[in-house]
Amino acid sequence: MKDINLPSNSKMLAQDFLFGVATSSFQIEGDRKGRLDNIWDTFCEKEGTISDSTNGDVACDHIALWREDVALIEALGVDAYRLSISWPRVMKQDGTVNEVGMQFYVNLVNDVIKRGMKVFVTLYHWDLPQYLEDNGGWLNRDTAYAFAKYAEAVAKVLGDKVYSFATLNEPFCSAYLGYEAGIHAPGKTGMANGRQAAHHLLLAHGLALKVINRLSPTSQNGIVLNFSNCHTTTNSEEDKRAAKLADDYHNQWYLQPIIEGKYPDVIDMLDADSKPEILEGDMEIISQPIDYLGINYYTRTLYQSDGKGWFEIVPPSNKVLTAMGWEITPDAFTDLLVELNERYDLPPIYITENGAAMDDTLDNSEVIDDARTAYFHTHLNAVNDAIEKGVDVRGYFAWSLMDNFEWALGYSKRFGIVYVDYDTQKRTLKQSALAYSKLVKSRINRYISGIK
Ligand code: IFM
C-alpha cells in the first residue's frame, strides 16, 4: 500500500487541524419517494443530459444505509464529516417543515456527534426543489428569500449541534454550469441567465447567513467556493489578459462580492442585457463577514484569447490526467491558496473538497488506487506548503467518502475513497481510504507522545 505522508513538523498534524470526508445529499441519498422532486430529478429525465442515462433515485441508498456509512466514517478515524441537506426533503411546498425528512438529518447528525466527530452541514449542494424552478429558480429573486426560510428551519433544529454551516456549495457550478452553459440542471443557457443566477445565489447566501448567525451564533458559518487557477500555455499578453478575464469571470465573481462587496471589473465588459440586476443593499447583504471560507480544489484550467477580446478554454496537453480528464496540478493548489491569501483579507480556510476520479477496479475485494493515494499525498503536501507560506488553513476534507452520482457523468466516474458496488450497495475501502486513515490515525501516537 502506498502511504500519504506529511513532514513531521507539519501544522496539519497538530491536534486542532481537522481531517474529514465529504458527500452531498443528491449524490448519495436515493429515496426519491421520501422527498419532493428537485431540478436534478427533472434534468435526469431529459434525453442526453446524463452520460450513462442514470439518475439519483437510488444512488448509494444512503437513506437506508446511513448507520453503516457513519460507522465507516468513524472507522476511518477522521475528525469531521461534511454532508449536505436536501432542501426538498426537509421543506414542503407550502413552506412548512417535512418532519420525517428533518428527523432523518437530526438522527444522522446526532449519530456523527455521538461517535466523536464534528459535523459540517452544507445547505445547498445543487438540489433545488423543482417547484421553485417552475417559478424561475435562481433567476427569480424570490428563490433567495425561500432559501433563507429553509435555512431558518434547519438552523432552528440543528443549530446547537453542528460545528459548521455552509450556505452554498460552489455557486459557480449552480450558476454557470446550470444556467449559462446548460450542462447541469436545470439546463438553461446564456450569459444573462448565468450572471443573474449567480447574483441571486450570492444574495441567498447573504440572507441565509444572517439567519444562521442569529440562530446558531456558536457554529462556524461560511460558504464553500470552488477555484481553478486560470493559466495560459503561451506568454502572449493577449492570452495572459484572457486568463485574467477568465479568473475574474469564473473564480473572483463569487469571492470578491463576499469579501469586498463588489463584482470584479469584468462586469463592466458585459452588455447591458447580460449584467445582473442588483438592487440597492444587495452588496451589503452579500458581503457580511464569514467565519470561514471553504475552498474546493481539483485542478487548474488553461485559457487562451479567442481573438475577440474574450477567453476560451485550451484542453490540457499534459498526459497526467485523472479520469475526469483533469490535470494533476498540486503546485498550482499551493499557488492558488497563497494568491488568494495575498489578495484578500480572508477568514480562516477549510479545504472542503479535494480528490480525484480514477478508473478503479474491484479485484478480490480490493481496489488498488495508487494514483488516487498519490493525488492525496501531493495535494495534502501542497496545503502544507501554503500553510508554511502563511495561509491559515484549519482543515481538509477528502472528496469523496464514497463513489456516487457524479452529476452529468452519472455513475461513470468514481471519486470515492470507498468503492460502491451499485448492484449490491456493498462498500469496500479502497487503498486510498486505508492510506488516508493511516495518516489520520498516526496523529494519535503523536498526541500520546506529547508532540503538539
Ligand atoms: O462531485 C462534485 C461535487 O458535487 C462538487 N465538487 C466537485 C465534485 C467532483 O466533480
294: β partners: 224, 350
Answer yes or no: 312 catalytic. Answer: no
Determine the distance separating the centroid of ligand 1 and the alpha carbon of 82, expressed in angstroms.
13
Give, using CA atoms, the residue closest to atom 2 of ligand 1: 406
Residue to mutate (ligand 1; options 295, 353, 417, 420; most atoms within 8 A of CB): 353
Q: Report the 3 state secondary structure along the chain.
A: CCCCCCCCCCHHHCCCCEEEEECCHHHHCCCHHHCCCEHHHHHHHCCCCCCCCCCCCCCCCHHHHHHHHHHHHHHHCCCEEEEECCHHHHECCCCCECHHHHHHHHHHHHHHHHCCCEEEEEEECCCCEHHHHCCCHHHCCHHHHHHHHHHHHHHHHHCCCCCEEEEEECHHHHHHHHHCCCCCCCCCCCHHHHHHHHHHHHHHHHHHHHHHHHHCCCCEEEEEEEECCEEECCCCHHHHHHHHHHHHHHHHHHHHHHHHCCCCHHHHHCCHHHCCCCCCCHHHHHCCCCCEEEEEECCCEEEEECCCCCEEEECCCCCCECCCCCECCHHHHHHHHHHHHHHCCCCCEEEEECCCCCCCCCECCECCCHHHHHHHHHHHHHHHHHHHCCCCEEEEEEECCECCCCHHHCCCCCCCCEEEECCCCEEEECHHHHHHHHHHHHHHHHHHCCCC
Answer yes or no: 353 catalytic. Answer: yes
Q: Could you tell me whether strands 418-421 and 393-399 are parallel, antiparallel, or unpaired per DSSP bridges?
A: unpaired
Query: Relative to the CA of 226, which ligand 1 atom is closest?
Result: 6
Cβ(24) – ligand 1 distance below 6 Å: yes
Determine the distance separating the centroid of ligand 1 and the alpha carbon of 400, expressed in angstroms.
8
Q: Indicate which residue of 29, 180, 327, 353 is catalytic.
A: 353
Cβ(26) – ligand 1 distance below 6 Å: no
Q: How far apart are CA 406 and CA 322, in angstroms?
A: 14
Query: Relative to the CA of 125, which ligand 1 atom is closest?
Result: 4
Does residue 451 register a pLDDT over 80?
no
Cβ(399) – ligand 1 distance below 6 Å: yes
Does residue 153 register a pLDDT over 70?
yes
Query: What are the residues whose beta carbons fall under 8 Å from the beta carbon of 292, sequence distance 6 or more?
Result: 164, 220, 221, 222, 347, 348, 349, 350, 394
Determine the distance separating the centroid of ligand 1 and the alpha carbon of 357, expressed in angstroms.
10
Using pLDDT thresholds of 50, 70 and 90, give the confidence band for residue 319. confident
Whole-number pLDDT of residue 318: 78
> Going from the N-terminus, what domains does the chain have, and what CATH number goes with each?
11-448 (3.20.20.80)
Whole-number pLDDT of residue 1: 84
Whole-number pLDDT of residue 452: 57
Residue to mutate (ligand 1; options 358, 400, 404; most atoms within 8 A of CB): 400
> For the purposes of burial, counting CB atoms within 10 Å of the CB of 45, is it exposed (0-12), middle (13-18) or buried (19 or more)?
exposed
Determine the distance separating the centroid of ligand 1 and the alpha carbon of 434, expressed in angstroms.
22
Whole-number pLDDT of residue 447: 82
Using pLDDT thresholds of 50, 70 and 90, give the confidence band for residue 122. very high
Cα end-to-end span (Å), the chain: 27
Determine the distance separating the centroid of ligand 1 and the alpha carbon of 406, expressed in angstroms.
7
Determine the distance separating the centroid of ligand 1 and the alpha carbon of 59, expressed in angstroms.
15
231: β partners: 302
Query: Relative to the CA of 355, which ligand 1 atom is closest?
Result: 9
402-449 pLDDT, tens digit per residue, is 999 999 999 999 999 999 999 999 999 999 999 999 999 999 878 888
Q: Could you tell me whether strands 418-421 and 426-429 are parallel, antiparallel, or unpaired per DSSP bridges?
A: antiparallel
Determine the distance separating the centroid of ligand 1 and the alpha carbon of 447, expressed in angstroms.
33
231-282 pLDDT, tens digit per residue, is 999 999 999 999 999 999 999 999 999 999 999 999 999 999 999 999 999 9
Using pLDDT thresholds of 50, 70 and 90, give the confidence band for residue 293. very high
Cβ(406) – ligand 1 distance below 6 Å: yes
Cβ(353) – ligand 1 distance below 6 Å: yes
Does residue 230 register a pLDDT over 80?
yes
Give, using CA atoms, the residue closest to atom 1 of ligand 1: 406
Residue to mutate (ligand 1; options 26, 407, 414, 417; most atoms within 8 A of CB): 407
159-193 pLDDT, tens digit per residue, is 999 999 999 999 999 999 999 999 999 999 999 99
Cβ(282) – ligand 1 distance below 6 Å: no
CA distances from 451 to 9, 208, 342, 443, 446 (A): 9, 40, 31, 9, 5
Cβ(296) – ligand 1 distance below 6 Å: yes
Cβ(122) – ligand 1 distance below 6 Å: no
Q: Indicate which residue of 29, 170, 327, 406 is catalytic.
A: 170
Return the ∠ at Cα 136 (arms to 135 and 138), rounded to 5°.
125
Torsion of CA 401, 405, 409, 414, to 10 degrees: 30
359-395 pLDDT, tens digit per residue, is 999 999 999 999 999 999 999 999 999 999 999 999 9
Residue to mutate (ligand 1; options 21, 24, 26, 254; most atoms within 8 A of CB): 24
Query: Relative to the CA of 324, which ligand 1 atom is closest?
Result: 10
Give, using CA atoms, the residue closest to atom 9 of ligand 1: 406
Determine the distance separating the centroid of ligand 1 and the alpha carbon of 46, expressed in angstroms.
21
Return the ∠ at Cα 200 (arms to 184 and 228), rounded to 5°.
55
Cβ(170) – ligand 1 distance below 6 Å: yes
φ, ψ for residue 134 (rounded to 5)?
-60, -20
Query: Relative to the CA of 407, which ligand 1 atom is closest?
Result: 1
12-68 pLDDT, tens digit per residue, is 999 999 999 999 999 999 999 999 999 999 999 999 999 999 999 999 999 999 999
Q: How far apart are CA 109 and CA 66, in angstroms?
A: 11
Question: 376: which 3 cell numbers?
Answer: 492525496
Q: What is the pTM of this model?
A: 0.98
Cell 459540517 found at:
120
